[in-house]
Amino acid sequence: MQYAQKAGSLNLGLRVEHGFAMLATLLNNVHGGKATFEDFLPDRGQKPEPKAATPQDLLALLQSVKR
């Protein structure tokens, strides 16, 4: 358990995916791209963090409600 906590997941598939994502990021950046490491990782169904509502969002919501 200590090794897994220190080194990350022991899942070989995830390690291979991370390796290819690292290689793709490196090649992209060498050739002038602006991609990040996360751009090359597959989406695993994680939900994006909800953004905070702005006063303009609230006003638009209230205006969309009709009586």
Tell me the pLDDT band of 67, cut-offs 50, 70 and 90: low
- Is residue 53 in a domain? no
pLDDT tens digits for 20-65?
999 999 999 999 999 999 899 887 777 777 788 888 988 888 888 8
CA angle 30/31/35 to nearest 5° reads 80
- Is residue 62 in a domain? no
The domain of 31 spans 1-42
- Is residue 21 in a domain? yes
Number of domains present in the structure of the chain: 1
Task: Find the length of the chain.
Answer: 67
The amino acid present at 66, given as its one-letter code, is K
- Is residue 18 in a domain? yes
- Is residue 24 in a domain? yes
The amino acid present at 34, given as its one-letter code, is K
pTM to 2 decimal places: 0.57
- Is residue 58 in a domain? no
- The dihedral of CA 24, 28, 30, 31: what is its sign? positive
